Amino acid sequence: MRYLFNNISESFSHKTTKELQKSIRLFGLLSNPLLSSLGIKVMRRFGHRDFVITRKLIRWLFSPFFAGTSLEQAEEKVSYLSDFRVYSYLNYAVEEVDKELEFDKNCQIVVDLLTHASKHQNIPFSVCKPTSLGHKDLFCKVSSKQALNDSECQSWQRAINRFHTCCLAAQKHNVGLLIDAEEYNMQSAVDGVVVDLMREFNNKKAVVYNTIQLYLTDGFSRLQEMHRVAIDNKFRLGVKLVRGAYMEKERERAKKQQIPSPICKTKEETDIQFDEAVRYCLQCINTVSVVMGSHNEQSALLAVELLEKHSVSPSDHRFWFSQLLGMCDHISFALAKRGYNVVKFVPFGPINKLVPYLARRAEENSSITAQTTRELIRLKKELERRKKEARTS
Ligand SMILES: Cc1cc2nc3c(=O)[nH]c(=O)nc-3n(C[C@H](O)[C@H](O)[C@H](O)COP(=O)(O)OP(=O)(O)OC[C@H]3O[C@@H](n4cnc5c(N)ncnc54)[C@H](O)[C@@H]3O)c2cc1C
């Protein structure tokens, strides 16, 4: 079992040597903290402008991480991944917006992608970010139990209606809807809304999934509490388990506000909580459906062991592994080859929208540098292996 992800040639069998060399150049750049932070600054400054040169550069730099600028291009990626039994969920890259009209537009995009997914066997989920459907300040106010004025109450109701519209479409099209987790100060309002939606839509199966960030000191207890509510109200709990992407921001905010940080003190504590959550969900698999969003090999191995221990078939749709497009293909492809359910998060959209989106994701998540370094080592190993093989044959 420990060797599941060690078969480098198998992990990269989907890449030609030319693609391998391109990835090495790219990951070499991205794993250099100085160059990548400079790159992010350049992207932020010029990325939204429609210069031919920026478009070309960004396409070259980020092509492994996004599926193209249109739905047609994204479909090609979906079909390519499906050749390796890897599923996809499409995400139209949108950034935090603050106008009602834009929230409505985003809601329609989610509904359109759910409709699109229903026509494809290889797209079992769709995804939606709370701040794409309602104003962040409202989520924060509701989370901190502040009273809303009349106009805020109306905006809040409109946000809830948009969530509801998305869930209705998910149910109608039989596609799971994953609701992302964002910053801590808005999460308790998101949890409240999503639990209400689960109560309404998850009676027969998991249609709606809430995201639980296990880097939060109270992450595991939130999971248990949501599960208790699910049992009491006889609905199925749908969860996407992640470690969490806003660590630096959360710590900075806590420091500024002179309040205790909501984040675990060490990476080890986060890892322990994450694995505990995986254990808990698999023990309760008869009432919980899980999407495990992680690039961590040890957690993936643990899940594989536990699926076996609890006699859950690899292809049982109550448990999915999920990674981002272009990241940790060695985990995704090895698991898919052995019959496990693997779904890639596949962003697409116009370059001017993708750039701020990709820049934010890279900026938010310092762990990306560590992950790209590990990816680079694996890619180099495979290139060396192929060279050696060519020399001896
Ligand atoms: C499919 C998918 C969906 C995702 N959706 C979301 C989402 O909705 N919301 C969200 O917030 N994130 C989301 N993420 C990102 C995720 O939370 C992690 O940031 C990212 O996946 C890295 O964690 P890991 O488990 O892959 O790997 P690892 O490299 O093992 O873990 C890195 C993570 O550990 C934690 N960590 C690192 N150092 C410390 C430290 N010193 N103390 C405490 N904790 C530490 C951080 O969470 C860091 O991101 C998603 C990721 C994937 C793959």
- Whole-number Å distance, alpha carbon 274 to ligand 1 midpoint, is 10
| Ligand 1 atom index nearest CA of 323 | 53
- Whole-number Å distance, alpha carbon 126 to ligand 1 midpoint, is 20
Q: Tell me: pLDDT of 44 over 90.
A: no
The residues that bridge with 210 in the sheet, in sequence order, are 179, 239
Q: Tell me: pLDDT of 337 over 80.
A: yes
Residue bearing the CA closest to ligand 1, atom 4:
293
Give the residue-averaged pLDDT of 30-54.
66
pLDDT (tens digit, 9 = 90+) per residue, 226-278? 999 999 999 999 999 999 999 999 999 999 999 999 999 999 999 999 999 99
Residue 206 banded pLDDT, cuts 50, 70, 90: very high
Residue bearing the CA closest to ligand 1, atom 32:
367
Sheet-wide strand order for 342-348: 87-92, 342-348, 319-324, 288-293, 237-242, 208-213, 176-179, 125-128
Ligand 1 pocket, Cβ-based, cut-off 6 angstroms: 180-181, 211, 213, 215, 242-247, 263-264, 266-267, 270, 293-296, 322-324, 345, 365, 367, 371
Q: Tell me: pLDDT of 26 over 70.
A: yes
**Can you give the pLDDT at residue 54?**
66
pLDDT (tens digit, 9 = 90+) per residue, 127-157? 999 999 999 999 999 999 999 999 999 999 9
Percent of the chain with pLDDT over 70: 88
**Can you give the pLDDT at residue 47?**
59
Q: How far apart are CA 304 and CA 1, in angstroms?
A: 8
Residue 49 banded pLDDT, cuts 50, 70, 90: low
Predicted TM-score (pTM) of the model is: 0.93
pLDDT (tens digit, 9 = 90+) per residue, 51-101? 666 667 666 667 778 888 899 999 999 999 999 999 999 999 876 677 999
pLDDT (tens digit, 9 = 90+) per residue, 339-375? 999 999 999 988 777 766 666 666 555 566 677 788 8
**Can you give the pLDDT at residue 356?**
67
**3-36 b/e with 16+ CB inside 10 Å = b?**
ebbeebeebbeebeeeeeebbbebbeebbbeeeb
Q: What is the mean pLDDT of the chain?
A: 90
